[in-house]
């Protein structure tokens, strides 16, 4: 599939000397949902800001749908819709006017039918005559999305879209993102809710200290780095792990009441059967058994810690 | 939108800025008009009735061009600076900066709207003045030209202030401590020939003298300085503002880090 974003050797050093991006290369395919993960100050927002024309790059090149963002800025920017992290709206304008304004900025003819559909999809139709200052935080966030979609972009950036929003809005937003993808819109999101990336993204990029640590299919990443965990609740607490169990590298938790075993999720020879047999032979009874799988969050933390 | 120009984008910003003036009718239109009427009543009526004519014109009529110029200068700066600073303050400016608008188009939209508002106010004040004082306009084309040039030039200046200001205090400080005093000293209410030396000569370094003088000449044919000097001074200041704005967009000063 062809790329809608091509980032090559992108570097950003601010006047203070702080290097926010250090040689970033990235390709995003048309129609995919891409999640950019990273701790605060990793360079996520700087990367998005450069692509959208809000920050000037120190070096490197960005192309949107084949258009270089500085020389062909009109074509490049026309393809992009941006929902920034902060709610930033003209508070005295009405919902209807502010969404029409966004469409006009991109040189498109007014299309009341399209804007009506957009506002209905975002459950803003009943609020179309309300001024922004009269809206709740969640409603304002919906208006930000409506504005970003008003010019029917091919590419939508969502910078922390669900930060501080309620469960309903977060669920609606996920539905919206999936429906946009069905219409062929490419979506790039940054999020602190890693569960969000895990559930929605086709691919994940992890960024730290201005460098892309990896870019990988979400499923492949989960598979490659995924660990499983077996937790056994013991009938009687242990003071220490018996020496005969040392080959499983167990962890004794909760004041000796729990044994935890981490194993590779990708192998069949994981040692669980042998462990259970060995416990039986030692007469160590357990009252409960629980298995779990490491989340993308665990993987993300591991990667960032390895980098540090 | 074509590849070279985004007229609908410019029109969208222009119309939104004009809508802001309608939303803030009392602040944008009523307040300056009421203030100017008070000037006419106090200076033109109460004080002016005890004064001789100035440059062959009754005092009430003499101050009309100066009062219009005072409004044009202060309102152009205020409209353009607030118009551009407010989206910076609310961070809504990201929408303008990430839209397919060139620097020229952005400036055209904001400065065009600010200048339009100022010219409208100037015309309203001119019409209001005609109810109080018998006016004559000897050179109407030059009057309109000076109005437009002054409004555009000082809207460009206001646009620069809107980008430079870090807070609302800085936004108002240059109009309050520089522009308004220069306008009062620049002959809004008197001819600079009425000043004793060395104040008269010193006042020739005040650029507003040339604006008011040229504008008054378009009304009554009398001026403190040559009209071409007034025109050159206005155009020179406009060129300086355009150069500053070109530099701002080229370097990204305060807009694009």
Q: Dig out the tokens for B244 from the structure.
A: 């500053």
Beta-carbon separation of A75 and B3 below 8 A: yes
In 3D, which of A202, A194, A206 has the Cα closest to residue A305? A206
- Per residue in A131-159, pLDDT (tens digit) is 999 998 888 989 999 999 999 999 999 98
Is A244 in the same domain as A206? Answer: no
CA B123 – CA A216 distance, rounded (Å): 64
Say which residues have a Cβ less than 8 Å from residue A148's Cβ, sequence separation at least 6.
A81, A82, A83, A102, A156, A157
pLDDT lower than 50: segments of chain B: none
Residue in A15, A74, A89 nearest the CB of B1: A74
Is A202 in the same domain as A277? Answer: no
Contact A258, A232 (CB under 8 A): yes
Is A161 in the same domain as A76? Answer: yes
Supply the DSSP symbol for B50: G
Beta-carbon separation of B6 and A74 below 8 A: yes
In chain B, which residue's Cα lies nearest the Cα of A86?
B91
Place of tokens 């026309």: A78
CA A105 – CA B8 distance, rounded (Å): 7
* 3-state secondary structure at position A212: strand
Is A144 in the same domain as A208? Answer: yes
Contact B190, B66 (CB under 8 A): no
Of the three residues A206, A223, A240, the one that is the final residue of a domain is A223
Domain that holds residue A277: 227-293
What is the phi-psi region of residue B151: left when phi exceeds 0, alpha when psi lies from -120 to 50, beta otherwise?
alpha
Residues of B within 8 A of A144 (CB-CB) are none
Which backbone phi and psi does A191 adopt, to 5 degrees?
-155, 150
Q: How many residues does chain A have?
A: 308
Residue A269 lies in a domain: yes
CA B110 – CA A209 distance, rounded (Å): 38
Domain that holds residue B55: 7-251
CA A64 – CA A78 distance, rounded (Å): 10
Residue A38: per-residue pLDDT: 84
CATH of the domain at A173: 3.40.50.300
Burial of B251 (0-12, 13-18, 19+ CB in 10 A): exposed
Supply the DSSP symbol for A81: E
Residue A268: per-residue pLDDT: 64
The stretch A36-54 carries a mean pLDDT of 90
More confident site: A163 or B122? B122
Distance from CA of A261 to the nearest CA of B (A): 50
More confident site: B17 or A227? B17
Which backbone phi and psi does A270 adopt, to 5 degrees?
-100, -5
Contact A76, A64 (CB under 8 A): yes
Contact B192, B206 (CB under 8 A): no
Contact A127, A94 (CB under 8 A): no
Is A38 in the same domain as A15? Answer: yes
Q: What is the ipTM of this complex?
A: 0.85
Percent residues over pLDDT 90 in chain A: 45
Residues in A whose CB is inside 8 Å of some CB of B read 14-15, 52-56, 73-75, 77-78, 80, 82, 84, 86, 88-93, 97, 101-102, 104-109, 147
Residues in B whose CB is inside 8 Å of some CB of A read 1, 3, 6-9, 11-13, 15-16, 19-20, 23, 86-87, 90-101, 252, 256-257
**Strand runs (DSSP E) across chain A, as ranges?**
3-13, 19-29, 33-37, 59-64, 67-68, 80-83, 155-159, 186-190, 203-208, 211-217, 227-234, 251-253, 258-264, 286-293
Residue A305 lies in a domain: no
The stretch A13-35 carries a mean pLDDT of 93
Contact A37, A205 (CB under 8 A): yes
Is A275 in the same domain as A209? Answer: no
Longest dimension (CA), chain B: 63
pLDDT band at A109 (very low <50, low <70, confident <90, very high): very high
Residue A308: per-residue pLDDT: 60
Residue B194 lies in a domain: yes
Count of the separate structural domains present in chain A: 2
Residue B203 lies in a domain: yes
Residue in A80, A89, A90 nearest the CB of B98: A80
Contact A203, A30 (CB under 8 A): no
Residue B147 lies in a domain: yes
Residue B57: per-residue pLDDT: 80
Residue B121 lies in a domain: yes
CA B158 – CA B163 distance, rounded (Å): 9
Distance from CA of A298 to the nearest CA of B (A): 34
Residue B237 lies in a domain: yes
The stretch A254-264 carries a mean pLDDT of 85
Is A73 in the same domain as A191? Answer: yes
User: Both ends of chain A: CA-CA distance in Å?
Assistant: 34
Beta-carbon separation of B13 and A97 below 8 A: no
CA B192 – CA B214 distance, rounded (Å): 13
DSSP H/E element including B154: helix B140-164
Count of the separate structural domains present in chain B: 1
Which backbone phi and psi does A15 adopt, to 5 degrees?
-60, -25
Beta-carbon separation of A78 and B23 below 8 A: no
Give the best-scoring range by mean pLDDT among A72-76, A167-171, B126-130, B172-176: A72-76
Is the pLDDT assigned to residue A307 strictly greater than 70? no
Place of tokens 């309903």: A168
Residue-averaged pLDDT of chain A = 87
Residue B1 lies in a domain: no
Residue A112 lies in a domain: yes
In 3D, which of B80, B78, B32, B74 has the Cα closest to residue B180? B74
Distance from CA of A129 to the nearest CA of B (A): 15
Is A47 in the same domain as A192? Answer: yes
Residues of A within 8 A of B91 (CB-CB) are 84, 86, 88
In 3D, which of A16, A246, A100, A93 has the Cα closest to residue B12? A100
Residue A298 lies in a domain: no
Give, to the nearest 10 degrees, the angle between helix B207-220 and helix B227-251.
130
Residue A226: per-residue pLDDT: 63
Of the three residues A207, A223, A239, the one that is the final residue of a domain is A223
- DSSP string of B214-251, one letter each residue: HHHHHHHS--SS-HHHHHHHHHHHHHHHHHHHHHHHHH
* 3-state secondary structure at position A70: coil
Contact A118, A149 (CB under 8 A): yes
Contact B247, B164 (CB under 8 A): no
Residue B231 lies in a domain: yes
Query: Of A68, A105, A115, which to mutate for an interface test with B (greatest number of B Cβ within 10 Å)?
Result: A105
Residue B256 lies in a domain: no
Give strand pairing partners of A13: A19
The stretch A212-235 carries a mean pLDDT of 81
Residue in B19, B92, B257 nearest the CB of A14: B257
Residues of B within 8 A of A84 (CB-CB) are 91, 94
Query: Of A89, A98, A107, A146, which to mutate for an interface test with B (greatest number of B Cβ within 10 Å)?
Result: A107
Give the best-scoring range by mean pLDDT among A168-172, A188-192, B19-23, B152-156: B152-156
Q: Dig out the tokens for A106 from the structure.
A: 């991109």
Is A142 in the same domain as A32? Answer: yes
CA B103 – CA B251 distance, rounded (Å): 12
In 3D, which of A264, A79, A219, A224 has the Cα closest to residue A153? A79
Place of tokens 């809207």: B155
- Tell me the torsion sign for CA atoms A282, A287, A292, A297: negative
Of the three residues A178, A203, A223, the one that is the final residue of a domain is A223
Beta-carbon separation of A104 and B98 below 8 A: no
């Amino acid at each position: 599939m062809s790329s809608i974003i091509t980032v090559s050797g992108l570097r950003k050093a601010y006047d203070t000397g702080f290097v926010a991006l250090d040689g970033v290369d990235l390709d995003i395919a048309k129609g995919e949902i891409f999640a950019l993960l990273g701790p605060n100050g990793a360079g996520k927002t700087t990367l998005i800001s450069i692509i959208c024309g809000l920050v000037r790059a120190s070096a490197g090149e960005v192309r949107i749908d084949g258009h270089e963002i500085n020389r062909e800025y009109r074509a490049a920017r026309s393809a992009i819709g941006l929902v920034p992290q902060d709610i930033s709206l003209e508070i005295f304008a009405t919902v209807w006017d502010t969404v029409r304004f966004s469409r006009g900025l991109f040189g498109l003819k007014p299309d009341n039918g399209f804007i009506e559909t957009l506002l209905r999809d975002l459950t803003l139709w009943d609020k179309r005559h309300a001024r922004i200052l009269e809206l709740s935080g969640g409603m304002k966030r919906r208006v930000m999305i409506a504005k970003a979609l008003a010019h029917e972009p091919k590419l939508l950036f969502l910078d922390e879209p669900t930060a501080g929003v309620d469960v309903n809005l977060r669920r609606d937003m996920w539905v919206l993102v999936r429906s946009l993808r069905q219409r062929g819109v490419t979506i790039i999101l940054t999020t602190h809710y890693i569960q969000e990336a895990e559930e929605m993204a086709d691919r994940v990029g992890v960024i730290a200290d201005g460098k892309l640590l990896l870019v990988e299919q979400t499923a492949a990443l989960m598979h490659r780095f995924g660990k499983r965990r077996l937790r056994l609740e013991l009938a009687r607490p242990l003071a220490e792990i018996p020496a005969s169990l040392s080959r499983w590298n167990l962890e004794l938790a909760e004041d000796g009441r729990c044994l935890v075993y981490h194993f590779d999720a990708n192998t069949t020879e994981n040692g669980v059967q042998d462990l259970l047999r060995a416990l039986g032979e030692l007469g160590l009874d357990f009252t409960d058994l629980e298995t779990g799988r490491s989340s993308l969050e665990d993987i993300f933390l591991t990667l960032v810690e390895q980098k540090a | 939108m074509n590849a070279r120009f985004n007229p609908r984008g410019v029109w969208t910003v222009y119309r939104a800025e004009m809508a802001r003036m309608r939303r803030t009718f009392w602040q944008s239109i009523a307040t300056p008009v009421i203030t100017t009427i008070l000037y006419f009543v106090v200076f033109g009526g109460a004080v002016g009735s005890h004064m001789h004519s100035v440059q062959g014109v009754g005092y009430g009529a003499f101050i009309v061009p100066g009062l219009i110029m005072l409004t044009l200068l202060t309102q152009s700066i205020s409209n353009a600076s607030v118009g551009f600073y407010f989206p910076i303050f609310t961070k809504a400016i990201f929408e303008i900066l990430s839209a397919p608008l060139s620097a020229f188009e952005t400036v055209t939209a904001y400065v065009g709207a600010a200048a339009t508002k100022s010219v409208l106010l100037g015309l309203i004040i001119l019409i209001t003045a005609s109810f109080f004082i018998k006016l004559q306009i000897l050179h109407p084309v030059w009057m309109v030209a000076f109005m437009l040039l002054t409004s555009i030039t000082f809207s460009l200046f206001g646009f620069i202030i809107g980008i430079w200001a870090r807070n609302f205090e800085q936004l108002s400080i240059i109009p309050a401590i520089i522009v308004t005093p220069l306008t009062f000293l620049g002959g809004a209410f008197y001819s600079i020939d009425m000043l004793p030396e060395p104040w008269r000569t010193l006042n020739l370094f005040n650029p507003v003298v040339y604006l008011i003088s040229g504008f008054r000449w378009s009304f009554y044919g009398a001026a403190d300085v040559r009209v071409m000097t007034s025109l050159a001074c206005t155009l020179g200041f406009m060129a300086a503002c355009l150069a500053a704005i070109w530099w701002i967009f080229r370097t990204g000063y305060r807009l694009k880090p």
